Amino acid sequence: MKYAHLQTLAKYFSKFKKINDIKRVGDMLLLINFDGNDIFFDLAKSGSAIYQNSEFKAIKTYNAPFDNALKKRLKSSKILEIKCLENNRILQISTSFDGSYKSIKSELYLEFTGRFTNAIITDENGVIIDALRHIENNFRQIKPGRVLKQLEAIAIKEKPCDEILDFNEFFKSEFNRLNRQNLENLRAVKMAQVQKKLQALQASLEALESEESLKSQSEDLRKKAGVLLANLSNLDEFQREFELSDFGGQKINFTLEDTPKVSANLYFTKAKRLTQKAHGVKLERENLNEKIKFYLSLEEMLENAKSLNELEILYPKRANIQKTQKNESENIQNFYIKEFKISIGRNEKGNIELLKNSKKDDIWLHLKDIPSAHVIIKTNKTKLDEEILNFAAKICVNFSVSGAGRYEVDYTKRQNVKISNGANVNYIDFRTIVVVK
């Protein structure tokens, strides 16, 4: 963050009178609503920035002590002063919150200092209430209960930058700059992870035995078993190597390890096992092909994602994937946005599971007049906003059809959907969303 820009922005923010809302909407991202204006403060160490983003989608709700302190002390507070500290890339926001019994004064320090970039809340006496990052080193301790030690002023040397003439344009360009850089980096990481999964699935698919070969082996064994049983009266128990004719007159050579009778039963048993194995291979092939189809669709959605948040929703960090998928069905894929869970059936079994386990107030989505995956939005009786609905419709289209085009997605409450057979349904009282792929 440029010091010159921070000075100008401090003057711009000083015109606002109130912080209507303030919350963390990303691990290192704050959203502050000044008099109805949403401003994002990105406190990432590698690339901090201040910007606006009208298409932002919150992934989750944060409830750590720091987040509770933001809400308790700064939400709906009056702005007393906003300034940029002299020769420091630090924005200081002084506020006053009028509670039931007393006025609570707080200071919010947004430090854009590279390695130690941070957001720190103190009381009016400079005692730390909480911080985004707790830091402890020989110079400075950022922990609740400690008196905040201010950073010393330094001689800031930076390249000249353009003056901010249009703040809306500046906020937009800052978002585009940061988003473009981070988007492609994160996209490459997510795409590589998905491609690695696809390669592993493809390798597993290619390693499967041939169902036709297994069935052929099974039929040969059944045939030999039948020929043996038909000729038991003509064979001695000690015979191990001999030639017999099958029912079509073809000669078959036999080399046995046991008596003809026992060998015939062994042939039948092996034939049965090979038939079962062929069936298992068929099911595994179908399962692998379904997974490959899913990840190809996911790869396409990652390729077309327009924001970091969308990438994280589609393919969360590995630790989050393991945590959320611990007790989840492999036939269903779940996506999480704020307090909502969007579930899509990966196959017919998944569609049936969704229909069976969803509640009457959940929202059901399906392509109009086209076979498609079923999608369920778990509402938990929470009011559903248009953003979540549109994203669910987009998921429904992208994981159901491969061709580009204009698609209609019907949606209604689960209570309006009647199962007729398996995953086939009839539904009423629906609305329609148009999705262009």
Which H/E stretch holds residue 288?
helix 260-304
Instruction: Tell which residue, 342, 346, 339, has the closest CA to residue 389.
Output: 342
Tell me the C-alpha distance between 390 and 258, whole Å. 68
Contact (Cβ atoms closer than 8 angstroms) between residue 404 and residue 437:
yes
Tell me the C-alpha distance between 30 and 74, whole Å. 12
The two structure tokens encoding residue 291? 């997974």
Tell me the C-alpha distance between 105 and 97, whole Å. 6
The two structure tokens encoding residue 407? 């698609």
Q: What is the dihedral of CA 9, 14, 19, 21, to 10 degrees?
A: -10
Give the pLDDT confidence score for residue 70 in this predicted structure: 96
Give the pLDDT confidence score for residue 325 in this predicted structure: 56
Q: Which amino acid is at 84?
A: C
Structural domains of the chain sorted by starting position, each given as residue range(s) with its CATH number in brackets: 3-164 (2.30.310.10), 211-292 (no CATH), 316-436 (no CATH)
Tell me the C-alpha distance between 210 and 229, whole Å. 29
The two structure tokens encoding residue 194? 């998905």
Contact (Cβ atoms closer than 8 angstroms) between residue 302 and residue 314:
yes
In tens digits, the chain (437 residues) has pLDDT values of 889 999 999 999 999 999 999 999 988 999 999 999 999 999 988 778 999 998 787 777 899 999 999 999 999 999 999 999 999 999 999 999 987 778 899 999 999 988 889 999 999 999 999 999 998 888 889 999 999 999 888 888 888 888 899 999 999 999 888 888 888 999 999 999 999 999 999 999 999 999 999 999 999 999 999 999 999 999 999 999 999 999 889 999 999 999 999 999 999 999 999 999 999 999 999 999 999 999 999 999 999 998 888 898 999 876 555 555 556 788 999 998 878 899 999 999 999 999 999 999 999 999 999 999 999 999 887 888 888 999 999 999 999 998 889 999 999 999 999 998 888 999 999 999 999 98
Tell me the C-alpha distance between 67 and 350, whole Å. 37
Give the pLDDT confidence score for residue 434 in this predicted structure: 95
Let me know how long the chain is.
437
Strands (E), 338-374: 340-345, 363-367
Q: What is the DSSP string of 117-155?
A: -EEEEEETTSBEEEESS-EE-SS-EE-TTSBPPPPPP--
The two structure tokens encoding residue 204? 């597993």
Give the pLDDT confidence score for residue 85 in this predicted structure: 95
Query: Is this structure's pTM higher than 0.85?
Result: no
